Structures are given as structure tokens and as C-alpha cells.
Amino acid sequence: MNKKGICIFSPTEHAVQLDLIGRVHGFVSAENYFNNLRDHDKTDKTYGALLNCYVRQRQIDKSILHLQKMKEMGFASSPLAYNDIMCLYTNVGQYEKVPHVLTEMKENKVCPDNFSYRLCINSYGAKSDLEGMEKVLNEMECQLDIAMDWNTYAVVANFYIKAGHTDKAIDALKKSEAKLDKKDGIGYNHLISLYATLGNKAEILRLWDLEKTACNRHINRDFITMLESLVKIGELEEAEKVLKEWESSGNFYDIRIPNVMVIAYSQKGLYEKAEALLEELIEKGKATTPNSWAIIAAGYLEKGNMAKAFECMKAALSLRVENKGWKPNPRVVKQILSWLGDEGCTEDVEAFVDSLSTAIPMNRQIYHALLKVHIRSGKDIFGLLDRMKTDKIDEDEETKKILGLRHN
């Protein structure tokens, strides 16, 4: 656009282009773009964009030197550049340096904003320095030009929860809720998750009812948060009610939502319920994922129900065509193969191996299962042994034991 004269770039457009180059090609390419700009395009916008590239790629020395140059040029008069440096120290785990940046801001007559204070609060919380955290929070609350927001109090509440200060956490959560935009689904989700960490069912349900009243529409993310929160505190019956709400909401289908329940049932050993839920989805023409079935297969395996584990793993493998990134659990596959070799029929074993070969390469366990079932059914095994050699899988002691079954 710029080269063809469709849009002559201002410093703002150059800053956007520089940021995109940094994201795609890295900070070196961003530097080259910056260095080739004309002097009048090297403003606080483009300098700030390059600083952001350095910070994103965790270039500490370059970030510090660049900020120093921005100060010399008079381009560090807003909190943005200092916030970038605080983000950098946070991302590399150097939390102890964050408060010094806040102090430097104030010394340079740059007024911190909400994000500045929140980064500093987070740095103290990450070090479990609750006294330091409270001191910064109190200072922030006293600033006339700072409008306290729900997110800051939620961050504070989270650190209180981690430290086991339940009363202080609840107090911070109440303050957070008071600052919440009543139509902010993200804010409600965040508070619901924190109350779940506290195990407070009453507050979870109260906030969910408030969210449903205040927000015109609930997206799938809201339902996922609510389901995960109820599952976290062991309230499966309440979670089932929320699942029904989602089903009647008219929202687009999202397998992640029923998957929360599949995982929850499996963790409680309720594999039959998990399987029934997936079967119900299939009956309604809804897609399921191989991982959902694999989780249940692993559960049945733990209970010793090999036949069910086998059926669920077959279902998982049948869905792999649409989910090529998925790989079956090697431990589960190994045990199913061992069981099939001992008890399965030739057709089942060969069909399972055909499905399995689309997900994993042929290995010793697969050949052992095939050898065992061929020997039990009186079939020729020399072709299998030749294939083993072709695949460079040598006979081991287990192979020899299996071959010895021919003479029993």
C-alpha cells in the first residue's frame, strides 16, 4: 500500500508495520525497518514499537538501551515504555526489578497507570511478599487519577488465595465485583474461577445467576468456565445442569464443553457415564474427538475391562482421520495389543492393527499381537516374520516365547 502510493504511511502506520515485521520475522528485521525510516518518521510511536519487539523476544540488554535512548529523545513521557520493561522483567522471572521501574517512573515525573501498578502488585505477589503487595495496592487506591478496576483486585485475591489468607481473598473478591462492569462476561468468569479455587459453591452459583441476568448472551467460554469451576469443587450434578443449559442455549457446537464432563466423569471413575455422553452426542449427529474416547479407554483399562477399553480405543482411532495430530497413549495401546494377542480373534486384531498403523509405525508389540493370534488360529506366520525383518525389528526373548507356542 505504501509503495504504490495507496496509503502514504504516517509514523503510526510505520509503527504498526514495524510491529508486524517483528512478530513475523523477529527483532532483527524490525531493527532494519526502523533504521531505514526517515528521521521524521522516527517518533515515539516507532520507537515504542521497536521497544515492544525487543520485549516480546526477551532482549533485556537491547530493551534497556533502547529505553535509555527514548528518554534522551523525550519519547518516554508516558507509562507505556516503562510498562513494557516491567512486562519484560515479569516474563523473565526477574520480579525484584519491577518495583524499581515503578520508582524510576515516578522520579521521572511519569504517572503510573493501572497496568503499571498491577504489574508491580504481581511482582510482589509472585515473590509471596504480601506486605509489599498491600503497600503498592494502598498507594494505588490513594491516586486520584487512577480508577480502580476489577482486574487489580482479582490479581490481589489470587495471591491471597495462594497464601491461604481466605478472609483477605474474599474481601478482595468483593471489591473486584463492586468494580465489575455488569455486562463484562470475562470479569464474571474470572471471579467464578477464583471462587472455585476457594471451593465456594454458593458464590459460584450466585455469580453465574448474576452473569445470566446482566449479560445478554453467553458465549461458549462462559459455559466452559462454569463447568470447569463446578467440576473443580466436585459438584457434578450442578455441572450437568449447566451442560443442559448450554445444550438449549443455541450456541454453536463446541466439543470442549461436553469434554469437560467426559474428563470429570473419568476422573471419578464414572466411565460408563462418560461413554454414554459421547454416544448421545453421536446420536445427535455431533462430532467427538479421539482424545475423548482415549481417556475413557484408559479408564476402562484401569478397571480391568479390556473389552470396553478395546471398543473405546477403536472409536478413537476411527476419528483420527479428522484429528491427525492426535497420538494414542503407548501404554494403553500396549496393554490392548497384549490382550488381543491372547484373547482376540484374527479379524479383530488385524482390523485394530490396520487402524493403529495410521497413527503409529509398526512396532514389536503390534507384531507380537499378530504372531500370537496367528499361532492360536493355526495361520502361517512366516510372512509376519519376514515383515518384522524388513522393519528391522529383531527377535527378542518375548518373540521367542511366542514362537515357542507353536509346539505347545
Q: What is each CA distance from 15 to 23, 70, 156, 171, in whole angstroms? A: 12, 15, 34, 42
**Among candidates 44, 96, 95, 36, which has minimal Cα distance to 66?**
44
- For the residues 143-151, what does the mean pLDDT come to? 94
| Cell representation of residue 39 | 528521521
Confidence grade of residue 1 (pLDDT, cut at 50, 70, 90): confident
DSSP states of 254-286 = -THHHHHHHHHHHHTT-HHHHHHHHHHHHHTT-
The C-alpha atoms of residue 234 and residue 231 are separated, in whole angstroms, by 5
Confidence band, pLDDT 50/70/90 cuts, at residue 113: very high
172: amino acid identity, one letter? A
* Contact by Cβ (8 Å): 320, 350: no
What predicted TM-score, i.e. pTM, was given to this entire model? 0.86
pLDDT tens figures, 171-180: 999 999 999 9
Cell of 98: 519491577
Low-confidence winner among 177-191, 237-251, 317-331 (lowest mean pLDDT): 317-331
Average pLDDT of span 82-98 = 97
Determine the pLDDT at residue 289: 93
Nearest to 230 by CA among 211, 207, 210, 213: 207
What distance lies between CA 77 and its chain's CA centroid? 36
> What pLDDT score does 408 carry?
59
pLDDT value at position 407? 67
Residue-wise pLDDT for 345-393, tens only, equals 999 999 999 999 888 999 999 999 999 999 988 888 899 999 999 999 9
Instruction: State yes or no: pLDDT of 84 exceeds 90.
Output: yes
Q: Cβ-count burial of 401 within 10 angstroms (0-12 exposed, 13-18 middle, 19+ buried)?
A: exposed
pLDDT band at 272 (very low <50, low <70, confident <90, very high): very high
End-to-end CA, the chain: 80
Contact 333, 357 (CB under 8 A): no
Distance CA 392, CA 182 (A): 65
Rounded to 5, what percent of the chain is helix, strand, coil?
Answer: 75, 0, 25
Closest of 303, 308, 310 to residue 334, by C-alpha: 310
27 and 62 in contact (C-beta within 8 Å)? yes
